[in-house]
Chains A and B, each alone.
Chain A
Amino acid sequence: MIRFILADLRRYKAGALAVIVLIALSVALSVTVTLQERAVRLGSARAADKFDLLVGAAGSETQLALSAVFLQPSPLPLMSGGVLAKLSKDPRVEFAAPVGFGDSADGHPVVGTTTPLVSALSPVLSEGRLFARLGDAVVGSDVPKRLGTQIKPMHGTAEEGGHTHTQIAYRVTGRMAATGTAWDRAILVPIRAVWQLHGMTPREEHDPMEEATEADDHVHDQEAHVESDAPVDEHFDADTPGVPAVLVKPKTVADAYRLRQDYRGETTLAVFPGEVLTRLYATLGDARSLLLAIATGTQAIVAAAVLLVAIMHIGTRQRQIGALRAFGAPRRSIVAIVSGELFVLFLTGFGLGILIGQIAARLISAALTATTAVRMPVEFAREDIFLAAWFVALMMVIAIVPALFSLRTSPARALRV
């Protein structure tokens, strides 16, 4: 029987190939949409995992969450440094770390922060040590800089026509372990270095005279001297300069909700990044529904096409079926041969489609990871089995029903075709 099917397939090679391609492409489309949506959802959920609560200046919640989680360069309004000081001393807070964006080096975001955040992202560094002096930097796992390398930060990004800060060159002292988040592409430096670089110093140290001299001395009047060798100081008070965002690690879930309540005010904004992302996924989910609807529509068209193929397949074999019956092949073997052959084509196309879809999803994920550093896991889930089973069942019906119908004509009539 297998030999018979193979011989028949050899005769109709081109047609068989066309059927396989047709099914493979439509299945691949659905598989890619499903897997990719899941990859983006899981990937960004995991990326947001380490960010419990974000506090920033009043503005866009989404922008705040995206900036902190994905390190998207965007001009966030600054929030008074007093908030950071207050949060640091709050008993409900395990740690509060400032997040100062804006600079970049070789396309990598330079983020000013404190050591607790580095430790939260990477409890154990993959090499080196945390920053201890203002001129030290800890790089993310995807930053191609060796320990000891100098990093010259640039204000903004090269694409935006930013200028290079000349007052400081950070020295890489440590590297974080991979986190699978956008922070793998980041260069983490002491927040005070960022402040000093941008001429933002605590008020009490602000001597008007000094400022004037500096303005004369430096090309960039906004920029001040950075004491690269000064030790890192992670105590903040009311005079602390402003920061765009503070990442807060609350002690308990209840604390998290209370803190969010407390810092939702006229001047500050508190968000759970996970929640903001969930809201984004709802939008993304709509896009996914649309894509899936398109994919389903495509599949309906393909199912119709496959039905047509099945009917034509049977039609061209009408004589053959008649002859098989005339020479005494039992009906069950005829149904098995005719629908078996179709089913083999369908199944091949289906398998190929899953493979192509998976490869496509992986390529897209790899491209996304390359630009965002957020790992997008392409993986199948349990619910996919039901979908697949359903599709296979449908293909079986499409393969068998026309074969059964073909047996209704008498062999004599089938032979006359």
Chain B
Amino acid sequence: MLALDIADLTMRFTGLDAPVLSIERLHLPAGGQLAVTGASGSGKSTLVNAVTGLETVTNGTIRWGETDIARLAVSRRDAFRAAHIGLVMQDFHLFPGLSALENVVLPVRLSRRLRPAERERALELLDTVGIARHDQTVETLSRGEMQRVAVARAVLARPGVIVADEPTASLDAGAGKGIADLLVQLAEAEGASLLVVTHDPVLMERLGRRIELAGGRIIEDRMEARAA
């Protein structure tokens, strides 16, 4: 379980005068849940890339627990993400030709030998997310099922935080709701913080807190009345 502390974060893209992201302070307590929303171009994706270390940060600090990932070298950042951040993306990024199970364990397998316990856990997670046929190749799954596999992959390494970037945007309403439920349920069960970028009201109202971005700044930060 990791707390997030952002301070004086400024992200600029070459050729643009205004910063695409400018956040003076943002705190997410350990185990907290946060929805990030905003129009397209408001800096949501940049925020996700910054907090996950996918993009290099030059100004400001992004602290996960005790680690300021803005100070880490690229390879250390990649390693930190692998160990502590579970990523779920809009386009799933599953690898065709591999089975559901193989996709879930791929990140682990690429860095070291898979332990039997991890394999067991992967199988359990697939059951939890509702994928019964573990050896089915991913391209034959429905989109909703693909995202379920992606969720299972994100939590396999028991990350301190789950970061999801528009996880339901490319799914129909039914599948989207299923994924929303899963994310919240798994984050709580695994004791992970949860940060979700989304436009999906169903997903937003499942999370305790919501910030809205515009022009790279936080224009609204409020706690939602949690839906029952």
Contacts and interface: CB of A to CB of B under 8 A. Distances in A.
A11 B96 contact: yes
B93 A11 contact: no
B209 interface: no
B97 interface: yes
Interface stretch (B28-36, B48-56, B197-205): B48-56
B157 interface: yes
Q: How large is the interface on A (under 10, 10 to 19, 20 to 34, 35 or more residues)?
A: 20 to 34
A327 B81 CA distance: 8
B54 A412 contact: yes
B7 interface: no
Contact of B82 (A4, A323, A328): A328
A320 B98 CA distance: 14
Given A330-B78, A333-B111, A412 B98 contact: no
A335 B145 CA distance: 30
Contacts of A326: 52, 54, 81, 87, 89, 93
A1 B109 contact: yes
Contacts of A412: 49, 54-55
Contact of A330 (B89, B93, B110): B110
Interface in A279-322: 319-320
A412 B106 CA distance: 19
A410 B55 contact: yes
B14 interface: no
Interface string A1-22: 1011011101100000000000
B54 A1 contact: no
B98 A4 contact: yes
A272 to B, nearest CB: 66
A328 B78 contact: yes
A58 interface: no
B170 to A, nearest CB: 15
Contacts of B74: 410
Interface residues of B, number: 27
Contact of A11 (B78, B89, B97, B110): B97
A375 interface: no
B206 interface: no
B83 interface: yes
Contacts of A410: 49, 54-56, 74
A412 B89 CA distance: 12
Interface in B5-59: 49, 52, 54-56
B111 A328 contact: yes
Contacts of B106: 4, 327, 329
A415 interface: yes
A410 B78 CA distance: 10
Contact of A3 (B52, B93, B98): B98
Interface of B: 49, 52, 54-56, 74-75, 78-79, 81-83, 87, 89, 93, 95-98, 102, 106-107, 109-111, 153, 157
Interface of A: 1, 3-4, 6-8, 10-11, 319-320, 323-331, 333-334, 337, 410-413, 415
Given A4-B95, A330-B75, 12 more contacts: A6-B97, A11-B97, A327-B107, A327-B153, A330-B78, A330-B79, A331-B75, A410-B54, A410-B74, A412-B54, A415-B54, A415-B89
